[in-house]
Structure 1
Amino acid sequence: MENAELGDLTGRARQAVLLSREGASPVQVAAADHLLEQNPFGPAALFTDIDPTAAAIAAAHWLAAAAEVTVEATGHSPTAVLFEADNIEALPHETPTHVLELLESGTSPYDAVTGLVRHALHIADGLLPDPAGLREQLEDIDDTLAQHTGPDTDPEDTGLRLTPLDPKRPAPDLLEDLLAGIHGCWLLHDEYDELDDEDDFGDDEDRDDDEQDGQQHDRGRNDFAHLVREAAAAHRNRLI
């Protein structure tokens, strides 16, 4: 484990990527950031070569950059883009949206991610780390339950999640959700770019439709990745 914390993921230390830890090595965060710079949508190496908490910290930074680019293209607020993207393709939008809300409030990617992972690990250990927060959740859903439940309602249908993450693997689960959020940002960005792409190809009647669609997809994805890299670089201090 100590080797993994220092950035050495060779041999037995590589097994550490299967674990969720409350903290993260700056070396590992930097390595994850470098991988995302190469591929802002998230290369497979994030899951095999990087500690998942560190990878999620870097992914939170890149999600914020992707949201910023999408906001500029669509006019939606940063915390609304993934709800809109969910209308295009079903996404696990709740957790990445919560992370965006935390970052919007000034929380660092490190604190946002480690706080969520720590909370889930405590739940897995049978602890309730935030009783006051749970009380607020119960108060918020009380009216909803009264409206949509009755004496014949199955209790399992009204269960309340104590953590948005899988408590058995919170850091990898969070990483997956954050990368899904980046994908969602691209979906919405691409939706708004679609009309411009159609205009660009509209005069070429001889172009095969499949070829046109493929080129639009590749160009839109590459352009989006370029813009996200610029946004991430402009806010590098957010990650450091």
Structure 2
Amino acid sequence: MTRYAYEPGSGALVASWGTGQGDVAQTIATLPRAVEPKIALALAAALTKLSGYQWRTYTHPASAAGDPELPGSVAWHRAEERNRFDQVEGAVRDPNLPDEDGLMAISYSVVEEAAHRVGRAAHLIGDAKLMDLLVAEVRTEQAAIESAELGDLSGRSRQAVELSRADISPVQVYAADSLLHADPLATIDRFTDIDPAAAAVAAARWLHLAAQVAAEAADVHPVHVVVEADNLEALQVETPTLVLERLSAGESPTGVVVDLIADALAAAEGRVRDPARIVEAAEAIERRMRGEELDEEGLTALTDEFRISHLDPARPAIDLLEDLLAAIHGCRLLYCETYESGFEDAVRAAGDDQSTPLL
């Protein structure tokens, strides 16, 4: 999301956002000198909160939660929040204010209410020129979100590369797939202008191809190549192996990636998407505890295996992308135990020969 700050010396109201390679800042307004610092800070905080709620409609789209036409459902609530974008400008210009009795209407929509808070802070300042600049700013922010939804991550929309979305842009997937076709060993630094969830979909496909090439060279099953490569260089084994298992079972890269990211996003909110999986994992640990004589160190190692999410809930898409790209590198290490070179060409040839569905 875009963060806003107040610079007391100049009175500047500054917007900043990440690009995957550092942050960009832009002065959007200069506040009148008479404005109290606490009012200026309240305005900056309100703008930041509004941006956060609006970008949440990008990371948590209705399309990832079921039927938005079903009243009261999660998808319906998400669609309602996204539809409130049309009310933001009006709420900023004409916010709900306390009446004579000190009572004030509060919107049920977090997006709309955040816009009213921006408007109330601006109302305290009472500067018409500033109001126009704030309206222009919220329009710019909404346009950035709309561009990101369409797969265009240029300009301010580029901050989406630091977010994890529970849905996939086909445009971004095919851009990442083309990048990996050109360089199957591309590192995370090459994906700083591509949505990480979409890039993870392409990386999952290319890991599947790389695993087949490495497996043939090393005479092991493709699902086990990351485990074998871990003997040559330390790798994150669990998540890439899980991805390979599910792809080998016939799931699509998109289905696997979306599911893993959705688990992590739920965990970040203190929820569990699949309680049955957690119960099953806990029961497996309990069975092992009952069936084995474990010292304290062994018990700690066993319980450390218990995970609500396979990915870091704070950055799931990037975490997954990093693991998948590292696993492709691991496949190359395993391949080079048999052949000195030719890995990239072999993987490209496998990709050209197989029409593995991405979406």
Shorter-chain TM-score category? 0.7 to 0.9
Alpha-carbon distance, 1:62 to partner: 0.3
Where does residue 170 of structure 1 map in the other structure?
A: 316
Unpaired runs of at least 5, structure 2: 1-144
Size of the aligned set, in residue pairs, is 213
Structure with the larger strand share: 2
Partner Cα separation in structure 2 for residue 152 and residue 49 of structure 1:
44
Where does residue 303 of structure 2 map in the other structure?
A: 158
Partner Cα separation in structure 1 for residue 149 and residue 355 of structure 2:
22
Alpha-carbon distance, 1:144 to partner: 3.2
**Contact 1:36–1:43 (8 Å) recurs in 2:** no
Alpha-carbon distance, 1:228 to partner: 0.5
> Could you give the per-residue CA deviations for residues 82-122 of structure 1, whole angstroms, max 9, x where no partner exists?
11111111100110110000001110000010110011101
What SS does the aligned partner of 2:314 have? coil
Alignment partner of 1:189 is 2:335:
yes
What SS does the aligned partner of 2:232 have? coil
Partner Cα separation in structure 2 for residue 157 and residue 31 of structure 1:
41
**Contact 1:32–1:46 (8 Å) recurs in 2:** no
Which AA in structure 1 matches 2:309? Answer: T
RMSD value, Cα? 2.1
List aligned pairs for 1:6-17, cutoff 5 A.
6-17=150-161
Alpha-carbon distance, 1:153 to partner: 8.6
Name the structure, 1 or 2, with higher relative contact order (CA <8 Å, separation 6+).
Answer: 1
Alpha-carbon distance, 1:47 to partner: 3.1
Alignment partner of 1:135 is 2:135:
no
Structure with the larger helix share: 1
Partner Cα separation in structure 1 for residue 337 and residue 251 of structure 2:
30
**Higher CA-based Rg:** 2
When normalised by structure 2's length, the TM-score is: 0.56
Aligned counterpart in structure 1 of residue 349 of structure 2, from 216, 224, 230: 230
What SS does the aligned partner of 2:223 have? coil
Percent identity reads: 50
Which AA in structure 1 matches 2:270? Answer: G
Alpha-carbon distance, 1:46 to partner: 4.2
Partner Cα separation in structure 1 for residue 209 and residue 299 of structure 2:
42
**Contact 1:46–1:52 (8 Å) recurs in 2:** no
**Contact 1:46–1:55 (8 Å) recurs in 2:** no
> Could you give the per-residue CA deviations for residues 126-169 of structure 1, whole angstroms, max 9, x where no partner exists?
11111111111012112333536457999798342211100000
Alignment partner of 1:104 is 2:248:
yes
Alpha-carbon distance, 1:73 to partner: 1.1
What SS does the aligned partner of 2:212 have? helix
What SS does the aligned partner of 1:238 have? coil
Which AA in structure 2 matches 1:162? Answer: I
- Evaluate the alpha carbon distance shift between residue 191 and residue 125 of structure 1 in structure 2; reply closer, same or farther with a 3 A threshold: same
Which AA in structure 1 matches 2:348? Answer: R
Partner Cα separation in structure 2 for residue 156 and residue 81 of structure 1:
24
When normalised by structure 1's length, the TM-score is: 0.82
**Contact 1:35–1:43 (8 Å) recurs in 2:** no
Unpaired runs of at least 5, structure 1: 194-215
Partner Cα separation in structure 1 for residue 164 and residue 336 of structure 2:
34
